[in-house]
Structure 1
Amino acid sequence: MCQACFEAATQSGAMHFCQCGTPETLAAMRRVEVDLSRRQMLGGMTSVVGMFAGFGLASKEAQAAGAGRPLLLTNLRFFDGTRLVLHDGIDILIRDGRIAALPARGQGPEDAEWIDCGGRTVVPGLIDTHWHTTLVAVSQIAAMTQDIGFVHLMAGREAGATLLRGFTTVRDVGGPSFGLKAAVDRGVVAGPRIFPAGAIISQTSGHGDFRLQNTLPMMPIDQPDYATKVGVSALADGVPEVLRRTREQLMKGASQIKIAAGGGVASKYDPLESLQFTEAEMSAAVDAARDWGTYVCAHVYTSPGIQRCIKAGVKSIEHGQLADEDTVRMMADNDIWWSIQPFLADEDANKYDDPKAIAAQKEVAEGTMRAFEWADKHKVNWAFGTDILYSGGASQGRQLAKLARFMTPLEALHRATGAAGALLALSGARAPYDGRLGVIEAGACADLLVIDGDTETSLDWLKEENNLRLIMKGGQLFKNSL
């Protein structure tokens, strides 16, 4: 119905008889639709996706734009996420959300939809292994006081922005991200794949205890605090409570468990050097996770805390910048993963007024430089993460680009692709997605970026989203400005 028909019908109840519904008009429209090529359709629909994804929303029609014939990316070089070289003379064939094959240039199937990359570089979709999907886009006060519906809506908008920065997968390590994950996976909201941990499991007075001192002591009749009620954190003291809270997160769908094993820079009540959870308590979380085929990661900075985590069976250290060299060697010997963030006390760092927090931030920044050096020296498995909180994720790409100060650009890119994908694989059967992530190989998930930039010499292209010319997740195009 045209606008004139609609207005006449709604205002007077009578139909305005133009030619919009005649058989001749409808037949002509069908002919026009048939004449539109699939290439034009892809271009138009992916523009729509880009518009909606910026708000965290994408229509089902736009999401389905990549369905149908297989796609062939051609005229490109690519970084496979693992080997520190660029491959040339090879195309990338995508079918049913996967990389189906890597045929020689020009040898792909004729029935495929060809996309000419113009000689640009293709890289795997980026992975952030330390992300908080529901805590990144709001202030700390808002996160702890506002209606949780508002927090989730803000998280949905930020999810679309995260995807448009080229991060097609994130490992969420604390917060109520299960609903957002479900919305993204169902195509209701545009965003990255999410590996959720659920609530941060913390001891009383630990890094995940967000209560104020005037609420103490907690009594048996007291209601849970806000952070506990909405799933930001879960307080547990003693082995039985740790088992209970761990199993609750697994029941909700956690792909890994996150515990707080030490203090934080900005924490008001838990000192940075404090040790949190006994080895027996940590082991309880590890046992419960292992029974479900997955693992525990731990927020911790210091050597004593890291060593306790290793003895308890924790598989991934989050932060760890204050580790001494013997502890780093211990991590390597025990095949521990290290999720390192470029905490450099620079323009992207959190701003503090408390002198203790400022001093702790400086100490962690100095430790960050050693962490990169010792991780390489002792061959520790490590992956890139950001841990951006309460400020919006605009610096996410810049944070990855900073790694090029400490290693070659391709080495840095590997830590946010192939290495990060290997860390995610620790979730085993609890991994929410089938197929390898962070690599370009036959059978892997078709999460790909086409970029303007030379990945062998610089990662500066990460600083501007316009340099991401094509963004694909699961074989679907969310941006195509080629």
Structure 2
Amino acid sequence: MIDGGGRVLMPGMSDAHVHLVGNANSVVDMVAGSATHIAINGLAEAKNMLLRGFTAVRDMAGDTSGIKSAIDRGLFPGPRIYPSQAAISQTSGHGDFGFVYETPTTLGGEESRAEQIGFMRVANGEAQVLASVREQLKKGASQIKVMVGGGAASMYDPLYTVQFTDAELRAAVDAATDYGTYVATHVYNVTGIHRAVEAGVKSIEHGHLADQPTIAMLAEREVWLSMQPFALGDHHYPDADRAGKDREICTGTDNVYEWAKKHGVKVAWGTDLLLEPQLAPRQSEMAARLGDHYSNLDALRMLTGGNAELFRLSGERDPYRDAQFGVIAKGAWADVLLVDGNPLEDLNLLADPGKNLSVVVKNGEVVKNTL
């Protein structure tokens, strides 16, 4: 029994788009660090996320099944993890981090470092896509992540590019469906979003460069939009090209949120922080930033039970399908927070969890109590 002293009880929060090992490690760590080094940094960041009040996360690229197992067995503190394992990319796509002087794996070359550490998997053609999806399922993925358009972090693909053919995407969807789960796709541009939806993808990750008819189409087709309230400064890039792509992405944030509300799209919230461990605490700031686009009540719903509804699309692959989370209800898992203040009145309380989260409970176990 904990005397809340008039504080506000709420469900544990969730983040629908994290990169646990990518968020916990720098570029140097990922390139030069051992697999153990990378995993231990990820495990430490898992604890930090839990102390920020995030009791469940959907990991959208990275070898996290071992970290998940250690947390689930109670060996280390951390959130419940829905792993995607390696994100799947075509050659020259958003997940191809091989250098231009290296021969692609499809043409007989060696795996890039990103593939060696299980962060990405490069595949071309239906057969390789099928094998890559099945490989991630074999390694414990609860859903599949596929790159369908350009991005800011990658070196070779402008934002307008469309990646994977219709047949390749349908192969990925078929393989995931056979395992009772779904495909989520990284994509910003209109053409890529339409191609993904036509192939049967259930979740669009990002979508910041969509137009209003495309957002309306997501509502009609009941496809989720897993969105991030990106702003300049959330990511930093060392060259003008990638910095320019980041600026373009950020300009779409306000419009897409407005259109999504207008058309009743199912929207999830995530952060997608990557390769800058010093910025990991921005996860909490971005949670509070959701209040710039939604009422505090709607934002809190999205941060808790709303995200959980998306996670449940994993169906038979859902590692936590036996109980509810993201709600305060009889019979639900006890993933709860005690807030020193009322986030319904001031969502910015969530931006400083060290100060304002008095109690964090996961699965009925108190992991933080400053009362």
TM-score of the superposition, structure 2-length normalised?
0.96
In the alignment, structure 1 residue 366 sits paired with structure 2 residue 251 = yes
Q: Separation in 1 of the partners of 2:316 and 2:187?
A: 26
Q: Separation in 2 of the partners of 1:350 and 1:369?
A: 18
In the alignment, structure 1 residue 163 sits paired with structure 2 residue 50 = yes
Displacement of 1:217 in angstroms is 4.7
* Residue identity opposite 1:458 in structure 2: D
What does 1:286-435 align with in structure 2 at a 5 Å threshold? 286-346=173-233, 349-392=234-277, 393-433=280-320, 434-435=322-323
In the alignment, structure 1 residue 214 sits paired with structure 2 residue 113 = no
- Give the one of 269, 276, 284 matched to 2:163: 276
Q: Separation in 2 of the partners of 1:131 and 1:172?
A: 5
Instruction: Identify the residue that residue 458 of structure 1 maps to in structure 2.
Output: 346
Q: Deviations for 1:219-242, whole angstroms, at most 9, x for unmatched residues?
A: 765432222122111111111111
Q: Deviations for 1:161-216, whole angstroms, at most 9, x for unmatched residues?
A: 11100000100010100110011111111111000000001111111111011112
SS of alignment partner, residue 455 of structure 1: coil
Runs of 4+ in structure 1 over 6 Å off:
none
Q: Separation in 1 of the partners of 2:106 and 2:306?
A: 45
Does the 8 A contact of 2:102 with 2:109 survive in 1?
no
* Residue identity opposite 1:457 in structure 2: E
TM-score of the superposition, structure 1-length normalised?
0.74
Displacement of 1:353 in angstroms is 4.1
Query: More deviation in 124-133 or 145-154?
Result: 145-154
Q: Separation in 1 of the partners of 2:14 and 2:61?
A: 16
Q: Separation in 2 of the partners of 1:217 and 1:310?
A: 28
Q: Separation in 1 of the partners of 2:58 and 2:27?
A: 20
Q: Separation in 1 of the partners of 2:117 and 2:294?
A: 40
Instruction: Identify the residue that residue 445 of structure 1 maps to in structure 2.
Output: 333
Does the 8 A contact of 1:130 with 1:173 survive in 2?
yes
SS of alignment partner, residue 267 of structure 1: coil
Q: Separation in 2 of the partners of 1:411 and 1:219?
A: 46
Instruction: Identify the residue that residue 194 of structure 1 maps to in structure 2.
Output: 81
Q: Separation in 2 of the partners of 1:309 and 1:175?
A: 22
- Give the one of 332, 353, 357 matched to 1:468: 357
Query: More deviation in 402-411 or 357-366?
Result: 357-366
SS of alignment partner, residue 343 of structure 1: coil
* Residue identity opposite 2:181 in structure 1: T
In the alignment, structure 1 residue 480 sits paired with structure 2 residue 369 = yes
Q: CA RMSD in A?
A: 1.3
Q: Separation in 2 of the partners of 1:225 and 1:266?
A: 16
SS of alignment partner, residue 435 of structure 1: coil
What does 1:28-107 align with in structure 2 at a 5 Å threshold? none
In the alignment, structure 1 residue 175 sits paired with structure 2 residue 55 = no
SS of alignment partner, residue 173 of structure 2: helix
SS of alignment partner, residue 322 of structure 1: coil
Q: Deviations for 1:79-124, whole angstroms, at most 9, x for unmatched residues?
A: xxxxxxxxxxxxxxxxxxxxxxxxxxxxxxxxxxx32111111111
Q: Deviations for 1:248-279, whole angstroms, at most 9, x for unmatched residues?
A: 11111110000000010132111111100011
Q: Separation in 2 of the partners of 1:173 and 1:369?
A: 23
Q: Which runs of 5+ in 2 are unaligned?
A: none
Distance change >3 Å, CA 279–CA 469, structure 1 → 2: same
Q: Which runs of 5+ in 1 are unaligned?
A: 1-113
Distance change >3 Å, CA 214–CA 461, structure 1 → 2: same
In the alignment, structure 1 residue 117 sits paired with structure 2 residue 29 = no
Q: Separation in 1 of the partners of 2:159 and 2:247?
A: 12
- Give the one of 12, 19, 22 matched to 1:135: 22
SS of alignment partner, residue 352 of structure 1: coil
Instruction: Identify the residue that residue 18 of structure 1 maps to in structure 2.
Output: none
Does the 8 A contact of 2:284 with 2:351 survive in 1?
yes
Q: Separation in 2 of the partners of 1:304 and 1:218?
A: 27
* Residue identity opposite 2:121 in structure 1: A
